[in-house]
Structure 1
C-alpha cells in the first residue's frame, strides 16, 4: 500500500520528477523515491522499448543489475505479456494477466522468479510526438499486491511524468543540435568561447581550450579572458563591453574584430566579438551574452583526406598533394614531404586541376577549404 504523503512530500516528488531530465542518469532520484513510497522492490522506467533492431533504454532503481536489463533486451522482451497497456492508464498485472497464466509463463519462470518479482504495477505513455515509454513497479511474491491507493498515486504522477519526458526529448534535441554545430565549428578550425553577462567564460570548444592552454596571445584569468598586450586587453574589454550593451538593449548584433600578436612570434590571432541575440525569456547569469570567435592561421585544415579524395574523384596521391597545398605548403615543399620529384608533383597537380575544373593552385586551395570536406 502506498504511504500517505504530505503535501510537502508530494511536492518534493514532483520537483525530483521535473529535475529528472537534468540528472546524469535521468529520473534516478524520482524512481528511488517512488520505489520507497510504493514499498516496492524495483522501479523501472523504460524510455525506449526494445525491439528486434535496437536495445531498449531503461532507468532502474538501485538493486537491479545491468545483466538483468541486458537479458531482457536480448531475449525476454519478446516473452513479456505485460506490454501494450492502454495509453496513460495505470494497471496491475493481475488485471491484465490471470495468475495461472502468469505463474506458468516462461517470462515469469525464467526471468522474474529468479529475482523474486511477482506483483507488477505499470503504465504505458505514448506521447503525441512518438515517444513510447513504460513505467513498471514490482514487488516480491511474499509482498501484498498493489491496491487502489497505489494505483491512485501513480495515476496522479503520470501526467507529470509525460510532461517531463517531453521536456527530456526537447533537451536532447537541443543538445544534439548544439553538439552537431560545435563539431562543425571544430572541423573548421575556429575557436569559440561563450561569455555570460558579466564577461565570464560559460563555454568553449576544443580548439579554444587548446589555445587557452597554450597561453600564447590569449589566456584565462579569473574566469575572464586576457588577450595579447595590456593595450590589446583594454581594446578587447571595450569590444566585449559594447557587445554586452548591445545584447542588453536588444539592439542588432554588434560584430567587432581585432588582431592579437602572440609572444611566441607565431602568426597573429584573429578575434571576432559579437553579441548573442537574447531569447525573449532569458533570465539569470548563466545566459549566453557574447561569443568570441578565434582564428589561428597556423591551424592546419582538418579536411579528411579520404573525403577530399571521394569529393573530387582524386587518386590517393593527388589527394595527399592537394591537402598539403591546402595547408600552406609550396609545390616544392609538398613534393619533398611526399618523397616524390617535382615533375611527378606537377603531373598530380595537372590531373587535379583537370578533375576539379580549376586552373591555379590558389583556386584549388580555396576550393578545398570552402568545400564540405572540412566538415567531414
Structure 2
C-alpha cells in the first residue's frame, strides 16, 4: 500500500502537473506521433471495444507488453470491463477479475499521476508482494506502470502498462507520454459516458414505441430514410398500402402517394425554418387487401440551436396499423399492477382483447356467473363500474410496456 510519504510526494508532483505548461520542444514525443495518438483517442469513441486502436498505438509507442484500460474496474460485486492490448491470457484476466484486483497496489492514486510499481512500494517490497509473485511474475511481467482517471462526473477508470522481465523499466519520458495523454483520455471517457447514456435512453424509448405498435421512419434533408424501427419495417414489408420505394416511401394509390410525398417534402422544408415543435400533418392510405387503412402522421424535426448536419433527421413519419393485435400483457404484471388474483387477471386480459364476458368465460372454462363474480371483484379493486371503463384503463396502463 502507499505510504504517507509517497502519497504526499505524489500529490506534490500532481500539483506541479496541474500547472505544467510544456513548450513545443518539451513534449516527450514528436508532433506527428502525438497527433496520431490524440486522433486515435477520440476516434476510439466509435470503436467496439472503445479505444482499442489508441491503446494498441500507445503500447507500440511505449514498447510495452500490454496496455490495459479498466473502463469499469473489477470489484467484489462485478468483474468489471477491461480493454486489453498485447498478447492476452484469458485465464490471467479472469484471475485478476476474481482475485488479484483486491491486492492491486495501484488503487486510489491521485488523479493524473503516473507511477511505476517500484516507485509506489519500493523495488524490494514490490518484488516480494503477492501481486508480483503470484500474478505478474508467472506471466513474465517485470515492470508495471499505473494511472487512475477520475472524471468530473465521478467515473473512475484505470490505465495499466506492462513490460516483460527482460525489458528496461519505465523512464520519465515514458511516464510523461502518459501524463500528456491522460487529460484527453478523461475527456474521451466523459464523452463515451454521455453517448452511452443517450444510447441506453434510445433503446428504452425504441422498445417502448415498438411495444405500442407505432411505426417510425426518419427522413434526412435529402428525403431519404435514415432509420426504421421494427414496427415500421413490419408494416412496410407487407407492401399493403404503403412500402419502401428507392430511398423513401410510396403509397399504393397514385393520389394517396402524391399526398404522402407532398407531406414529407413540406415537413422536410419546415425543419429548416421552424424553431418550435415540428408541425404535423396526417392522412390515411388504403390497402389493396381490404384491411383497415393505415394511419400516417408526418412531422418536421426542426434544427436545434446549434445543429449543422444535413444528415440528421429532418422529418418523421409515424405509421399505425389498426389491425395489428398488441402483445398480450403478462398475467403477472396485470395481477401486480391492479392487485388482482390470477383468475381475475386472466379475465381482465381477455376482456381487453375484445372478448365478451361469455367468450371470456368459455375460454377460462368457467360458468358465466363465476366470470361475472370475478368481474365484480375486479371492479371493486380497480374502482371502475363498467366493462368499457376497465378495458380503457388496461389499455392506457403501463402493462402494455412490460
TM range (shorter): over 0.9
Contact 1:186 1:207 in 2 (8 A): yes
1:270 to 285, 292, 295: 295
Distance 2:254 2:37 in 1: 53
> Is 1:128 aligned to residue 152 of structure 2?
yes
Deviations 1:124-146 (A, max 9, x none): 11111110111111100110111
In the comparison of the two structures, how many residue pairs are matched? Answer: 374
Task: Return the offset for 1:59.
Answer: 0.6
Contact 1:44 1:58 in 2 (8 A): yes
Task: Return the offset for 1:7.
Answer: 2.3
Task: Return the offset for 1:4.
Answer: 7.5
* Residue equivalent to 1:261: 286
Structure 2 unaligned blocks of 5 or more: 1-26
Contact 2:65 2:86 in 1 (8 A): no
Distance 1:185 1:357 in 2: 28
Greater alpha carbon shift after TM alignment, 230-239 vs 338-347 = 338-347
Alignment of structure 1 residues 297-316 onto 2, 5 Å: 297-302=322-327, 303-316=329-342
Question: Per the alignment, do residues 312 and 228 of structure 1 end up closer, same or farther by CA in structure 2, a change over 3 Å counting?
Answer: farther
Task: Return the offset for 1:251.
Answer: 4.3
Deviations 1:199-238 (A, max 9, x none): 2222222222222222223322223122342222211111
Task: Return the offset for 1:60.
Answer: 0.6
- SS of equivalent to 2:306: coil
Contact 2:111 2:150 in 1 (8 A): yes
Distance 2:235 2:352 in 1: 22
* Residue equivalent to 2:307: 282
TM-score (normalised: structure 2): 0.88
Question: Per the alignment, do residues 65 and 270 of structure 1 end up closer, same or farther by CA in structure 2, a change over 3 Å counting?
Answer: farther
RMSD: 1.9
Contact 1:301 1:326 in 2 (8 A): no
Question: Per the alignment, do residues 62 and 333 of structure 1 end up closer, same or farther by CA in structure 2, a change over 3 Å counting?
Answer: farther
* Residue equivalent to 2:68: 44
Deviations 1:171-196 (A, max 9, x none): 11111111121122122221222221
Distance 1:93 1:248 in 2: 57
Contact 2:106 2:147 in 1 (8 A): no
Task: Return the offset for 1:49.
Answer: 1.5
Task: Return the offset for 1:245.
Answer: 1.5
> Is 1:152 aligned to residue 211 of structure 2?
no
Deviations 1:270-303 (A, max 9, x none): 1111112322222223211112222222232333
Task: Return the offset for 1:109.
Answer: 1.7
